[in-house]
Structure 1
Amino acid sequence: MTAEAAFAVGDRVEASVGPVAHGGHMVARVPAGDASVVIFVRHALPGERVVVQITDVAKRFFRGDAVEVLEASPDRVPAPCPLAHPDGCGGCDFQHVSLPAQRDLKAAVVAEQLQRLAGLEVDVRVEEVPGAPDGLHWRSRMQYVGLPGGDYGLRKNHSHEVVAVPECLIAAPDARVVLVGQPPAGDTVTETVRGRSFEVAGDGFWQVHPGAPETLVSSVLELLDPQPGERAMDLYAGVGLFSAFLAEAVTETGSVISVEGDRRASDLAKGNLRDLRQVRTKAGRVDRVLKDLDTMADVVVLDPPREGARKDVVSAVVDLAPRAIAYVACDPAALARDLGYFAERGYRLSTLRAFDLFPMTHHVECVALVERAC
């Protein structure tokens, strides 16, 4: 039986909730005729018995919201935000979940993606990051939809419909505000990490958790252990965060090539790194720049966008013959796929750390150490 024949949008059905799935929802299977159908359920927890209202129908599955909890999980807590409910703001996935359980759910997703897509059995633990002890008031940059009268709004889940948000509880009190469709106020902002300043475009990428830059830099340096005189490469380098500290580690006897596809970010990186003579910045698509480089590398930082590095870039990185690669990933599925490509070329995952850089949401950041297989 197809999903269309089982239920329609708006229908309600009782369901026993199964495991967490990638994307901020749980998996429930409910009888439908002689078989069963899958519902991806938001606002639920594994082990709960809930009433699900169908919100979306596809050929092979449904999406739905838990609108009534019949048997609650011990990990369920009252959502701190009054808009974190079905038909409310879609910005947060896990406000109804205790913080330790949120991290357990994220760890389960990372482990499942690594097993399913890369064939890896990894014991994953998601680490708390300083700067958001209650999971709230951490986000340093907010993008809202402007509403009449100067109010702000955020979109519902899987919808263009906007919900007015008088106060977003994950926003830091001094969060920079950007409105959809409008240029940011100010051309650049200054961020500081380990006493070093970085100029970032007002609408450019920078980690939004206050503890993220230090956490990621520390993790990357600890895993790679770059040595004086080594050749380092920072791919998808942004404004040069990792490049700067790689350069300090390899000293002036080593070298760093910093590659970024966004021209504005690359120009800012050049200024941010101007005091480090061992750094060369290159603007251009990573795959194209790597094809034109006539060099090898000892260590590589790979920090691709959400879709991952993909096979061509992975192959080009392997051709550099690095002893170690630190892969910084914001999507566990993309990470797992790319680890599979590395495995095909003789490189293996040796260490994985995961960080809760996005409390109250399903997002998780990983840093993977990839090394040549023996």
Structure 2
Amino acid sequence: MDELLELTVGPVAHGGHCVARLEGGQVVFVRHALPGERVRAAVTERRRGYLRADAVEVLEPSPDRVEEPCEYAKPGRCGGCDFQHATPAAQLELKTAVVRELLVRIGGLRADEVDELGVGVEPLPGGPLGWRTRVQYAVDAQGRPGFRRHRSHDIIPIDRCLIAHPAIQDAPVTDRTWPRVGGVEVVASSGGDVTIFTRPRGGRAPRIVSGPRQVRERAVGREWRIDAAGFWQVHPAAPDALADTVVELLAPRPGERVWDLYGGAGLFAAAIAPAVGEQGRVTIVESAPGAVTAARRNLADLTQVRVVAGDVGTVLGNPRWRAVDLVVLDPPRAGAGRDVVTAVTARHPRAVAYVSCDPAAFARDVATFRERGWRLSVLRAFDAFPMTQHVECVGLLQPA
């Protein structure tokens, strides 16, 4: 950090910061601040056209400000939590404002169209602490586990992460050193399993330290067995909330054909399969080998579900993939992208449910859907990552 600036903080922006401006108009992205506050901020980064800064002293606090419960969620320390200094209600408002702004600025919707959608980020069951069921610790040169500073490779050793599940907080990880490893991860599954594994340097396979290699998860009325190092939603209430929303928005009918693209272990396919019945068909497309194996293992009893291993864009480039009634899109953080959206809309499904953990990528793809003559008719958003900037969106897209 270097020079100090006295700033009046403006609106929240995507990325976990608020926007302020210097007298000459230069933009300053300020972390650890809230809209309307007067702060003294330390510059942390200079770029052409804008600055980044941390609010190190609050001169006029917002009524939504609270003391951060975690000692590491402060300027210059852990970069994992963005909004610990805001009340839970204010965090929902901040995330709602971000989603709305991105839909207008990037998605191309008018403000009145966003109003009609009634966008509002909904809380999930449980509090803002103790929810995260998967935690990745970086390891410094001395073998100490911790988290990185915001926009930095520097590692801040910690003794406890307050947003982590209690079983993760109690796991024997932060009270010892981990020499010669790249990272340590802990999983506390909804089925009661706790697994610790390390990530060796050089990209080699994870090594189990304790606990089962496959952990049990419970969602959509089923028990799942998932590789501890595989993907699963980190909030324990998220799988059911997202799957229930996808089914509600798509309203699948008996006999319909559904594509579950970027389908992972098959969460959405499992939720949709009963609705389309044995005469229907649900096809999962997934490229990660571990997820493909998990989907085939966990959904073997659902005869109407098949799993295709492959890149979504490549699979949709095959002209034989034509007939589909409904599509679920759950792409990585970068979004589905123009080519995939174009390929999906060219098949003329009656509806698409788009699940996204990044509202900016979601808004970009919504803009592409709109170019193709589709509209965003429903949007639900969930606070699946309390204390952080992240939000999970589920949108229903239909031909206009």
Please confirm whether the aligned pair reaches a TM-score higher than 0.5, indicating the same fold.
yes
2:232 maps to what in 1? 206
Deviation at 1:149, TM superposition (A): 8.0
Amino-acid identity (%): 53
2:21 corresponds to 1:37: no
Task: State TM-score, norm by structure 2.
Answer: 0.87
1:6 maps to what in 2? none
Residue pairs, 1:11-50, within 5 angstroms: 11-31=3-23, 35-50=24-39
Q: Structure 1 residue runs of 4+, over 4 Å off?
A: 147-151, 177-180
Q: Which amino acid aligns with 1:92?
A: C
The verdict on how the C-alpha distance between 1:58 and 1:149 changes in structure 2, with shifts beyond 3 A counting, is closer
Q: Which amino acid aligns with 1:257?
A: T
In the aligned structure 2, how far is the partner of 1:255 from the partner of 1:197? 22
Cα deviations across residues 161-217 of structure 1 (Å, max 9, x unaligned)?
111111100000123255454715253222111331222222211100010000001
Task: State TM-score, norm by structure 1.
Answer: 0.93
Cα deviations across residues 137-182 of structure 1 (Å, max 9, x unaligned)?
0000100023588752111111111111111000001232554547
1:321 maps to what in 2? 348
2:290 maps to what in 1? 264
- Structure 2 unaligned residues grouped into runs of 5+: 169-186, 188-195
In the aligned structure 2, how far is the partner of 1:299 from the partner of 1:325? 6
Q: Is the 8 A contact 1:50 1:71 kept in 2?
A: yes
The verdict on how the C-alpha distance between 1:264 and 1:353 changes in structure 2, with shifts beyond 3 A counting, is same
Q: Which amino acid aligns with 1:201?
A: D
Q: Is the 8 A contact 2:7 2:21 kept in 1?
A: yes
Residue pairs, 1:277-292, within 5 angstroms: 277-292=303-318
Q: Is the 8 A contact 2:355 2:393 kept in 1?
A: yes
The verdict on how the C-alpha distance between 1:114 and 1:190 changes in structure 2, with shifts beyond 3 A counting, is same
Cα deviations across residues 6-33 of structure 1 (Å, max 9, x unaligned)?
xxx50101000000010000001012xx
Cα deviations across residues 267-304 of structure 1 (Å, max 9, x unaligned)?
22111111111111101110111122433111111000
1:140 maps to what in 2? 133
1:129 maps to what in 2? 124
Deviation at 1:244, TM superposition (A): 1.1
The residue matched to 2:396 in structure 1 has which SS?
A: strand
2:265 corresponds to 1:235: no
In the aligned structure 2, how far is the partner of 1:149 from the partner of 1:285? 39
1:345 maps to what in 2? 372
The verdict on how the C-alpha distance between 1:192 and 1:81 changes in structure 2, with shifts beyond 3 A counting, is same
Q: Is the 8 A contact 1:143 1:180 kept in 2?
A: no
The residue matched to 2:270 in structure 1 has which SS?
A: helix
Q: Is the 8 A contact 1:145 1:179 kept in 2?
A: no
In the aligned structure 1, how far is the partner of 2:389 from the partner of 2:243? 22
The verdict on how the C-alpha distance between 1:196 and 1:100 changes in structure 2, with shifts beyond 3 A counting, is same
Q: Which amino acid aligns with 2:123?
A: E
Q: Which amino acid aligns with 1:311?
A: R
1:296 maps to what in 2? 323
Q: Is the 8 A contact 1:141 1:178 kept in 2?
A: no
Q: Which amino acid aligns with 1:98?
A: T
Q: Which amino acid aligns with 1:248?
A: P
The RMSD of aligned alpha carbons is 1.5
In the aligned structure 1, how far is the partner of 2:248 from the partner of 2:137? 36
In the aligned structure 2, how far is the partner of 1:39 from the partner of 1:372? 40
2:40 maps to what in 1? 51
Cα deviations across residues 203-248 of structure 1 (Å, max 9, x unaligned)?
2111000100000011100000101111111000001111111111
Q: 1:160 aligns with which of 153, 157, 170?
A: 153
- Structure 1 unaligned residues grouped into runs of 5+: 1-8
Deviation at 1:119, TM superposition (A): 1.8
Provide the aligned length of Structure 1 versus Structure 2. Answer: 360
Q: Is the 8 A contact 1:307 1:331 kept in 2?
A: yes
